[in-house]
C-alpha cells in the first residue's frame, strides 16, 4: 500500500513524533472511495460505507458496528452482553448472498464494554471488539474516523445512519441531531450528556431493529466522522421520537485507554450550522416514554 509521509523536522522531539503518528492515523480513516453522491432514502451501493460491520451471533446478523482500525470494531454494549459465538463480516452489502469477492469474515478475541454501561438506562452503551486477526484495507473495507472530544454536532448537522434493518445495507438517511429538545421529548432523566439524538421530528426517518451498534456519521470535507453508535429509541421513525445514540466524542479517552497500539483516528468535527438547540426551552411538563 502506498504510504505518504510528512516531514516535520527534528524527530528528537518526542511530542512532534507523537503528533506525526496521530496525524498519519487520521489520514487513513474516513475515506470511502466507492461512495457516490448521497441521495437520502436509497439503499447503499457496495463500498459506500466501507467501515460498516455486520456483527453475527451464532452465524446470523445480530447488530451493526464500525471498523475503527485494522484490529478493532466499535459497537453498542447492549449488543454484546452475555457469551456467544461472535463473528464480524466486512465488505458486505447483502446479508444473504452477493459480493462474496469483497467480503471478509473475522472472529472476535476480546470484548470490552464500557465499565459504566447501565443496561437499565442505556447510558454508556458502547463497546470495543478486538478482532482475532487484523484486516487488510481495500476500497470496500476501511476504518471510519471518530469524533474527537472537542467536536460539536449542532442541531441541523446532516448525519447518515447505516445498517441492515432488513437484508440489504441501507440507511442513506439524512438526519438532524438534537440534545435539549430530545431530552424534553423523552422526559426528565432519560437522555444524558453521553447520548446524542438524531432523526426527523415529523417521523419517517430513523434507525430500527437490526441497526443497533451501527454508526451514525457526518461528512467534513472528504472525510466521514462517526458521531454516534445506534443505541435505543421508542418504536421506529415515530414523530417526536428521535433515535438515541451513544455520543462517540465523549469516549475518546476511554477508547484510547483500551486500544494500546494503532490508535483510531480521532478528528474534530465543527458544525457549519448555528445551534438552535442550545437555546431550546422545554415548555411542557416532562413525561416518561411509554
Residue 2 predicted with pLDDT over 50: no
Beta partners for residue 197, in sequence order: 178, 244
pLDDT in tens, 140-151: 999 999 999 999
Residue 118 pLDDT exceeds 80? yes
pLDDT digit string, tens, across residues 189-218: 899 999 998 877 766 665 655 589 999 999
Q: Name the architecture of domain 42-267.
A: Beta Barrel (2.40)
Residues in the chain, overall count: 290
Active site residue 211: no
Tell me: the pLDDT tens digits for 57-78? Answer: 888 889 999 999 999 999 999 9
pTM higher than the cut 0.85 = no
Q: Which of 191, 172, 174 is nearest to 182 (CA)?
A: 191
Q: Which of 48, 54, 66, 78 is catalytic?
A: 78
- Residue 287 or residue 149, greater confidence: 149
Catalytic residue check, 48: no
Burial 51-85 (b: 16+ CB within 10 A, else e): bbbbbbeeeebbbbbbbbbbbbbbbbbbbbeeeee
Position 150 scores a pLDDT of 95
Q: Which one, of 3, 79, 81, 25, lies nearest residue 223 by Cα?
A: 25
- Residues 50, 56, 60, 62: is their CA dihedral positive or negative? negative
What pLDDT, on the 0 to 100 scale, is given for residue 113?
A: 97
Catalytic hit among 48, 75, 125, 206:
125
Q: Which of 122, 212, 218, 249 is catalytic?
A: 212
Residue 3 has pLDDT above 70, yes or no: no
Is residue 212 annotated as part of the catalytic site, yes or no? yes
Whether 250 contacts 149, CB under 8 Å:
yes
With 80 as the cut, is the pLDDT of residue 54 above it? Answer: yes
Amino acid at each position: 500500500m502506498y504510504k505518504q509521509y510528512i516531514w516535520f523536522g527534528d524527530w528528537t522531539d518526542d511530542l512532534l513524533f507523537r503528533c506525526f503518528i496521530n496525524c498519519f492515523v487520521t489520514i487513513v480513516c474516513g475515506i470511502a472511495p466507492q461512495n457516490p453522491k448521497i441521495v437520502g432514502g436509497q439503499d447503499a451501493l457496495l463500498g459506500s460505507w466501507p467501515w460498516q460491520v455486520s456483527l453475527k451471533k451464532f452465524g446470523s446478523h445480530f447488530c451493526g458496528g464500525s471498523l475503527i482500525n485494522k484490529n478493532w470494531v466499535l459497537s453498542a454494549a447492549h449488543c454484546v452482553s452475555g457469551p456467544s459465538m461472535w463473528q464480524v463480516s466486512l465488505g458486505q452489502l447483502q446479508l444473504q448472498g452477493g459480493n462474496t469477492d469483497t467480503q471478509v469474515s473475522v472472529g472476535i478475541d476480546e470484548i470490552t464494554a464500557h465499565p459504566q454501561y447501565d443496561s437499565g438506562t442505556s447510558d454508556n452503551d458502547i463497546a470495543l471488539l478486538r478482532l482475532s486477526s487484523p484486516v487488510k484495507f481495500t476500497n470496500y473495507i476501511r476504518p471510519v474516523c471518530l469524533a474527537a472530544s472537542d467536536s460539536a454536532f449542532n442541531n441541523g448537522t446532516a448525519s447518515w445512519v447505516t445498517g441492515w434493518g432488513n437484508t440489504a445495507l441501507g440507511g442513506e438517511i439524512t438526519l438532524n441531531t438534537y440534545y435539549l429538545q430530545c431530552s424534553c421529548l423523552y422526559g426528565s432523566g432519560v437522555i444524558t450528556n453521553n447520548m446524542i439524538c438524531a432523526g426527523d421530528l415529523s417521523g419517517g426517518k430513523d434507525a430500527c431493529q437490526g441497526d443497533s451498534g451501527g454508526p451514525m456519521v457526518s461528512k467534513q470535507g472528504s472525510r466521514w466522522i462517526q458521531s454516534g453508535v445506534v443505541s435505543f429509541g421508542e418504536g421506529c421513525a415515530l414523530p417526536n421520537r428521535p433515535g438515541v445514540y451513544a455520543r462517540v466524542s465523549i469516549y475518546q479517552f476511554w477508547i484510547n485507554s483500551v486500544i494500546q497500539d494503532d490508535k483510531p483516528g480521532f478528528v474534530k468535527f465543527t458544525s457549519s450550522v448555528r445551534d438552535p438547540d442550545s437555546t431550546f426551552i422545554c415548555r411542557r411538563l416532562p413525561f416518561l416514554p411509554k
